[in-house]
Structure 1
């Protein structure tokens, strides 16, 4: 319950009138003070009455690309059998409060209101709860209550179509690419025989033991695997404004989404990794785009200084350091999930690990996740550190946004772009990986 300025003034006046009247024996002042106090008590009883409302919220769709439309529909019902309600409610939509008028909501009646969700910016928009503020007729008190649950809208980055997809060193056996290496089909599991299976794949020892035909299921390990590494450190984007936003980072997110969708279109395995620790993998594109929608810039940890300071103190960033690699070995999958939940920190004393680009590079080197690495950033300062992965990956591609013709090591392919569309054009212009 909140006391308005008018209510605070009336309460002070009531105290002065009652105190003066009782102290000096002025009954008229006591009457006036009592009237003010009665008005406050009436206001408290009026706003304390809770409207019996039911709120059902529908968001369609709850996952959209940047700039697409999404609509929230509210179904508000008055379950009271006696009293109607005329209220002004506000539904939280991100950082804004959208007014929702509930005019002449009769007892037992239902009204519907809808409004668009702002999707001009990438991110996660939290919707709800519905806040109903009840005021007394004199404007002395106000009481706000929440109704209904909450919903979430994921606004994905724009996706630009990429016609070319790197195939890496391993070639597919299904005819999409040539130069198939030998020995790339490996045993995966056993399954029951179905009509059409080749008899040469029958595993006779297991068949004799269980009494049913069992065949060997093989896995094609020659499909190229793409690894997208998105730099989400604040120091890697010089154009960060006071609100913590960067046009270069938005362009990098668009490039990452474009690569992921191109890989799914070509049915190629792909993994997404952020320097801050978040990651995505699997067979569905939703988890990848959800991670990109939730991505935000963070300050680099103390053990991973900014690019400018590192350039001043590290005269040879292109050379790997064994001591640095040993000190910054990346966490395992279980630890990475924990870090995703609790957020990255400068140092974890329990595990003795340091998060940042050093740890990410070390982890990608020791736990190879694919054969083609795509690094997306807003500065060319750290290209030398990523270039040290060239021995572990058949191809390393770096997309640098906003630096013009960004110079880079000869061992990697550097694509300089202004935005997501420019990156798509530069990507398709690469003749060989």
Structure 2
């Protein structure tokens, strides 16, 4: 809120004319100066009056994958008793201004307008509030005020369909994975008795009804508990293009693909970050992947013990807590030298997969977990489905 350049110039000129007219007794100068001062005063009073506007916004949708369309719709209603003159309005979307035209609104009337939200990059996009600027007809004074609520649109990483799911090492009565070894935990079906079957497995009621011995066929069902560990250290993703680490974006896509595949199979999955930082663990996994950023978690080389860094602390925590039996570690080219530290978790996690995203070549073979090298998220999905044994 304040005088425009034109208004400030007129006020200075009016003051000078008024002072000169009074000092040297020139009534013409006095009249001109007084007229300019009155014009500035009227402009201030007119533009300072706050129009009564009610602004509602709706994001459709408020959660979207990278590249998918999203639209913001604004409804502006004149809740006052007077007609509102044409106003200049501007919305803020992801830090960029979006011009919003507002015509003359009659009392009780509203206008609806919308614009497309840029979803080219993953992230949490703040939108709003609507800023309305009221000017006087001469452009001497402008008052800008915020109206309505602000919101956020979460742009999730791309999700690539995965058909393969780790079979896990834990046994559960609620398991959902087929093709598991036959055993004696959960009833599966009935079949005819063959020599060598244990008599305690004979189902006598069915045998009496069909006239021959029938035995229960049981299976051991497996319910894997998957832990997805995303390496969000800046040192693990050193390459940048336009300020964006492509390997980290690919790692986020790989993490989102694994999480969604687990959800679709009704499998429990835990998403963890190497450096928790500002991660909001209570939020849904895809929302966390939309908000996660790279952090400078580890001490610079030569200034501290690497075992005291974020990865060392995370490995220690995973070994102690064991939130699952299948570990999927997703890192970038800069994390290859520390795969041995992650490999020490083999005793706690019988099934392990390491994904190196943004890899320009294969990771040197070494004793340890299975490594999947992929240039981007799509290549990771193809390599993941090609894994025959976990």
Same fold (TM over 0.5): yes
Q: 83-92 vs 166-175, which deviates more?
A: 166-175
Q: Once the 2 structures are TM-superposed, how far is the Cα of residue 158 of structure 1 from its aligned partner? A: 0.7
Choose the corresponding residue for 2:288, options 288, 291, 295. Answer: 291
TM superposition shift of 1:367: 1.0
User: What is the CA–CA distance in structure 1 between the aligned matches of 2:268 and 2:125, rounded to whole Å?
Assistant: 29
CA distance 1:31–1:235, shift in 2 (3 Å): farther
Partner of 2:203: none
CA contact (8 A) 2:254 2:381 kept: yes
Match of 1:377 among 331, 336, 339: 331
* Match status 1:249 vs 2:251: no
Structure 1 Cα separation of the partners of residues 142 and 311 of structure 2: 51
Give the secondary structure class of the aligned counterpart of 1:98.
strand
In structure 2, the residue corresponding to 1:104 is in which secondary structure? coil
Deviation at 1:171, TM superposition (A): 4.1
Match of 2:147 in 1: 147
The corresponding residue for 1:399 is 355
Matched, 1:426 2:351: no
The equivalences for 1:29-44 within 5 A come to 29-44=29-44
Task: Give the match's secondary structure for 1:118.
Answer: coil
TM-score (norm: length of structure 1): 0.74
Q: Is the 8 A contact 2:61 2:71 kept in 1?
A: yes
Measured in 2, the distance between the counterparts of 1:142 and 1:253 equals 45
**In 1, distance between residues paired with 2:184 and 2:40?**
87
Query: Mind listing any 5+ residue stretches in structure 1 that lack a counterpart?
Result: 185-219, 318-323, 329-354
> 1:180 and 1:393 mapped to 2: Cα distance?
23
Instruction: Output the TM-score relative to the length of structure 2.
Output: 0.82
CA distance in 2 between partners of 1:268 and 1:49 (Å):
59
C-alpha deviation, 1:221, in angstroms? 9.9
Partner of 2:299: 305
Shift of 1:4: 2.0
Write the distance in 2 (CA, Å) between the matches of 1:358 and 1:424: 28
> Match for residue 270 of structure 2?
271
SS of residue paired to 1:90 = strand
C-alpha separation in 2, matches of 1:390 and 1:429: 22
The one-character-per-residue Cα deviations of 1:70-115 (angstroms, maximum 9, x if unpaired) are 2222121112223233222112222122222121312221111121
| CA 130–118 in structure 1, closer or farther in 2 if over 3 Å, else same | same
Structure 1 residues 313 and 87: alpha-carbon distance in aligned structure 2, compared to 1, 3 A threshold: closer
**Residue 367 (1) aligns with residue 364 (2):** no
Give the CA deviation at 1:172. Answer: 4.8
Q: 1:70 corresponds to which residue?
A: 70
Are the aligned partners of 2:176 and 2:223 in contact in 1 as well (CA < 8 Å)?
Answer: no
Cα deviation digits, residues 121-171 of structure 1 (max 9, x gap): 111122221111111122222111111112221111111011111122224
Taking a change above 3 Å as real, the CA distance of residues 381 and 13 of structure 1, as seen in their structure-2 partners, is farther
Aligned residue in 2 for 1:92:
92
Q: Distance in 1 between matches of 2:133 and 2:80?
A: 18
Find the aligned partners of 1:175 and 1:31 in 2 and give their Cα distance. Answer: 90
Deviation at 1:420, TM superposition (A): 0.4
In the aligned structure 2, how far is the partner of 1:180 from the partner of 1:370?
23
**What root-mean-square deviation, in Å, do the aligned CA atoms of Structure 1 and Structure 2 show?**
2.6
Report if aligned partners of 1:122, 1:156 keep a CA contact under 8 Å in 2: yes
Over 3 Å counting, the alpha-carbon distance change for 1:138 and 1:159 in structure 2 is same
Aligned pairs for 1:314-325 within 5 A: 324=307
Q: Pick the structure with greater CA Rg.
A: 2
Structure 2 unaligned runs (5+)? 187-219
Tell me how far apart the structure 1 counterparts of residues 304 and 92 of structure 2 sit (CA, whole Å): 47
User: What is the deviation of 1:280?
Assistant: 4.5
Distance in 2 between residues matched to 1:293 and 1:422, nearest whole Å: 21
Residues 401-432 of structure 1: per-residue CA shift (max 9 Å, x gap): 12221236421111111110000111111121
**Greater shift in the superposed pair: 260-269 or 378-387:** 378-387
CA 1:21–1:428: 2 relative to 1, 3 Å:
same
Aligned CA distance change for structure 1 residues 133 and 221 (closer, same or farther; 3 Å): farther
Equivalent pair of 2:340/2:368 in contact (CA under 8 Å) = no
- Number of residue equivalences: 350
